[in-house]
Amino acid sequence: MTTKTNSNAECCPEFNPEPWDDKVWDWDKKKFVRDHVFTFFNIPLNFGKVMRKLDEKVRKADATIPDWLCLSDHTSGWNMDVYLAVDKEIPEAENTTLSGKFYSKVYEGPYSETGKWCKDFEAFAKSKGLEIKKWFMWYTTCPKCAKKYGKNYVAIISRVE
């Protein structure tokens, strides 16, 4: 994994799927800051605003975002929690940690394929003897940057222990 700073000129750095595809991770109190995004039938409405707010807090704390990892937890059709990975506690933010065994698999294509990806992910995890406990989606780039890079990668990451 790499640690990135927010000094990159582009909106989203180009994503390399290889380190995240079909991998198992053991996280021990991996640091994140958490915030909430309003959604309309799972479509985020204020994602950019929330991410800018979190980014500002991370910059102010002189912290970094390892791998630009940002997990989305779709808690309902109307709400999504986002977990932005950080390398230290961030003042004036909801700091949290995730621990356990996590499995990740990367998909590429339009967001409309999400249902298909989720079914594939479930089958793949089951074939490896993994039981999914909690789902997260990692939308690795914004739509504008996905168009710029010619790829729209989405990683599904789940706690499996």
Contact 69, 7 (CB under 8 A): no
Residue 3 confidence (pLDDT): 47
What's the whole-model pTM score?
0.89
Q: Please, which pLDDT band fits residue 154 given cuts at 50, 70 and 90?
A: very high
Residue 7: its pLDDT value, please? Answer: 44
The HSE-up count of residue 102 (CA atoms within 13 Å, CB side) is 22
Nearest partner of 100 among 2, 1, 28, judged by Cα: 28
- pLDDT tier at 8 (50, 70, 90 boundaries)? very low
Average pLDDT, integer, range 140-160: 93
The tokens of 64 are what? 């970094």
User: pLDDT averaged over the chain?
Assistant: 91
Amino acid found at 155: A
Task: Evaluate if residue 1 carries a pLDDT over 90.
Answer: no
Inform me whether the pLDDT recorded for 133 exceeds 50: yes
Q: What is the pLDDT of residue 10?
A: 62
Q: Average pLDDT for residues 46-69, to the nearest whole number?
A: 93
Q: In percent, how much of the chain has pLDDT > 90?
A: 81
Is 21's pLDDT higher than 90?
A: yes
List pLDDT tens digits, range 113-132. Answer: 999 999 999 999 999 999 99
pLDDT tens, residue by residue, 72-107: 999 998 999 999 999 999 999 999 999 999 999 999
Separation CA 132–CA 90 (nearest Å): 29
Domain covering 19-150 assigned CATH 3.40.50.150 in the classification: no
C-alpha–C-alpha distance, residues 104 and 46, integer Å: 26
At residue 161, the 3 state secondary structure works out as: coil
| pLDDT category of residue 161 using cuts at 50, 70 and 90 | confident
Q: For the chain, what are the domain ranges? A: 19-150
CB atoms inside a 10 Å sphere around CB 76: 8
What's the pLDDT score for residue 41?
A: 86
